[in-house]
Structure 1
Amino acid sequence: MSRPIWSTPWQPGPAAPSGDGGPVVVNITEFTAHRSLDAAKVFVAGVMLRRSWPRTAGAVGMWLWMEAGSLRPRSGSVSIWWDRERLQDFVARPDHLRIVRAFRGKGELRSATWNSAESRPDPVWESVHRILAGRDPWP
Structure 2
Amino acid sequence: MEPIHVPWTDVGNAPRLLLRSWQQHRTSRAPLASLVLQTVWKPGPAAQDGGPFLISLTQFTPRWITDMLTIWRTADELGDQLRQIGGAVGVMTYVQPGRRRLGSMSVWADEEGLAQFMALPDHVETMHRYRSRGLPLRSAKWWSEDFQIGSALTEGLRLLERHQERRVIVATS
TM range (shorter): 0.7 to 0.9
User: 1:78: Cα distance to partner?
Assistant: 0.4
- Give the conservation status (yes or no) of the 8 Å contact 1:10–1:63: yes
**2:120 aligned residue:** 93
* Alignment match of 1:56 (pick from 85, 96, 119): 85
1:65 equivalent to 2:94? Answer yes
Listed one character per residue, the Cα deviations across residues 50-72 of structure 1 (whole Å, up to 9, x for unaligned) are 222221220001110111244xx
TM-score, normalised to structure 2, is 0.68
CA distance in 1, matches of 2:125, 2:39: 22
CA contact (8 A) 2:140 2:160 kept: no
Q: Structure 1 segments of 4 or more deviating over 4 A? A: 133-136
Indicate the residue corresponding to 2:44 in structure 1.
Answer: 13
Give 2:119's aligned amino acid: A
CA RMSD in angstroms comes to: 2.2
Specify the SS of the correspondent of 1:34.
coil
Q: Assess if the C-alpha contact under 8 Å between 1:12 and 1:62 holds in 2.
A: yes
Q: Does 1:32 pair with 2:61? A: yes
User: Retained in 1: the 8 A contact 2:57–2:156?
Assistant: no
CA contact (8 A) 1:64 1:76 kept: yes
Structure 1: gaps of 5 or more residues: none
Aligned residue for 1:46? 75
Q: Is the 8 A contact 2:45 2:84 kept in 1?
A: yes
How many corresponding residue pairs? 132
Q: Kindly tell me: are residues 135 and 110 of structure 1, through their superposed partners in 2, closer, same or farther at Cα, counting changes over 3 Å?
A: closer
Cα pair 1:13 1:54 within 8 Å, conserved: yes
Output the CA distance in 1 between the equivalents of 2:126 and 2:69. Answer: 13
Bigger CA radius of gyration: 2
Q: Say whether 1:107 aligns with 2:138.
A: no
Residue 10 of structure 2 corresponds to none
TM-score (norm 1): 0.83
TM-superposed CA distance for 1:130, in Å, is 4.6
Aligned to 1:55, what secondary structure does the other structure show?
coil
Shift of 1:131: 4.2
Larger relative contact order (Cα-Cα within 8 Å, sequence gap ≥ 6): 1
In 2, Cα distance between equivalents of 1:116 and 1:134:
14
Q: CA deviation at 1:106?
A: 3.8
Shift of 1:125: 2.5
1:38 positional shift:
1.4
Distance 1:106 1:48 in 2: 22
